[in-house]
Amino acid sequence: MLFNSIDFIFIYLPIALCGFWLASIFQNRSIVIGWLVLISLIFYSIWSYQFLLLLLFSVAINWAIGIALSHQRRNLPDGAKMNAAVKLLLILGIIFDLSFLGYFKYVNFFIDTVNTFGFRLELLDGLVLPLGISFYTFEQMSYLVGIAKGEVKSYSLPRFLLFVTFFPHLIAGPILNANELNYQLQKFNYRLDYRNLAVGFTIFAFGLFKKTAIADSVAVFATPIFIAAERGESISFLLAWQAAIAYTLQLYFDFSGYSDMAIGLSNMFNIKLPMNFFSPYQAVGIGDFWRRWHISLGRFLRDYLYIPLGGSRNGELRTYINLSLTMLLGGLWHGASWTFIVWGGLHGIYLCIDRGWQKFLKHRGLVFESGYHYWLARMLTFLAVIVSWVIFRAETLNGASHMLMGLFGGNGLMLPEMFADRFSMLRGIGIEFGTLNYHSGIQGSLLLLLILSVALFLPNLYQFTMREPAALDIYKNLNGQQPAWYAWQPTFGYALLTFGIFVISLGFCNQASEFLYFQF
């Protein structure tokens, strides 16, 4: 069941909300948590009851290890480091989680890779990737690490089930830390909160619009060209850039739209999830981009991979190695494919260059503060991101190479035949005219330009709702900012705007659609 399906919006969600409000009448935390767990398990089981059994198995093992870790931590004074027993339990928990994830996500990739060296190993038939496994595995690992360090108290089984399975973030995040939920449950608001409902519905409606009206609409300008590249067709410069920009917009509005819907839904139940996007295409450097893109994943990679590897504590060379390893593994986390590994490695190189450039500027005492330098930095960052998304989107490295060849002009520049008479002088510099089978046309190009302008220049949804903060601002993006004049308020005018956005979005809900990050 997708968030943008009619069944979810008009059947599942009303039942879930009504049950939540009825349970809240008793002012009993256990009853409310029980209801939220029940509807979350039902939500996941609609996809597959076999996947639900796997999820519950993973939850049971991690909860049991968490209890054992908590028991061992009680024998240690506050602030003490882990002893041998705690370390052993934590290692066993991490081995289980990585093995669980690795079996379903990477075993066939490993077999296929080994077979390229002449082996004849059989792939495992019928192995299907459980939905959300990458996200709920990471959350449970962070829970175990938090207990082992003495930073998190172990949950009761119902609370742990809620932490892992809460349906708004179960399938594709945002990735929630254990303490972020525990803090809210300690001061849980059981009453029907009309302001949370209003701002939650507003964010949900705008997220729905981003997903259905924008992301799904631009997909048609990217998908056929990437498919053609996989077939080995020569992709011209214009078509390559059309597909690259269209996918860049599709991925952002698809995943940020999902995150917005998840955060909005969570607010309706008086729970806040972490902010996951903050205008990433307005970044002024790759480091800035990763502070804005998939923020909850970036936090996890920083806290549980980059810092444990040594972070920036052991010299420049080790820092660059740690950055590269973190991004390589982050790329592999996205999927069992060499394209994801290359994409992660490319962003590792980007981050090393970015860090080296910042150190060079600091060493030389150079400060670039003019508008010219700002916009140049934004443009270069965005172009670098577009190139990386081509590799991310391609199904194979061969398909990626065909797209990149077109992107950098290796297949020549062809313009639509309709411009041949007016711009015939361009033939003298090697530009050709002909039929572009996958070209978006004038209207499609204007649509892409309009959507691109939204991503590059307009404020994001969290700036729009600053008066009623609806997400955990885990990177303090809004810290010190004042709400703009246009910031959302619970007034009739904004209610009318939200309702209009919601109705328009419903008109797109009948088309075939799936969230891109479900496959990760």
Query: Would you please indicate which residues are annotated as catalytic (active-site) residues?
Result: 334
CB-CB neighbours of 47 under 10 Å: 16
| Spatial CA neighbour of 393 closest among 217, 220, 211, 226 | 226
Pick from 272, 276, 240, 244: nearest CA to 257: 276
Asked if residue 205 lies in contact with residue 506, where contact means CB atoms within 8 angstroms, the answer is: no
Burial class (CB in 10 A: 0-12, 13-18, 19+), 122: exposed
Question: What's the token pair of residue 213?
Answer: 């009206």
- Structural tokens at position 17: 């909300």
Sign of CA dihedral 220, 43, 131, 31: positive
Alpha carbon 264 to its chain's center: 16
Q: CB–CB of 389/244 below 8 Å?
A: yes
- Gap between the Cα atoms of 54 and 9, Å rounded: 27
φ, ψ of residue 434 in degrees (nearest 5): -175, -170
190 close to 32: Cβ distance less than 8 angstroms = yes
Strand partners, 434: 416
Going 68 to 70 to 73 to 74, the CA torsion angle's sign is negative
For 90, counting Cβ atoms within 10 Å of its Cβ (0-12 exposed, 13-18 middle, 19+ buried), the class is: buried
Convert 427-481 into a string of H (helix), E (strand) and C (coil): HHHCCEEECCCCCCHHHHHHHHHHHHHHHHHCCCHHHHCCCCCCCECCCCCCCCC
Given CA atoms 165, 171, 177, 179 in this order, what sign does their dihedral have? Answer: negative
Q: Centre a 10 Å sphere on the Cβ of residue 514 and count the other Cβ atoms it contains.
A: 11
Q: Kindly state the tokens that stand for 4.
A: 């943008």
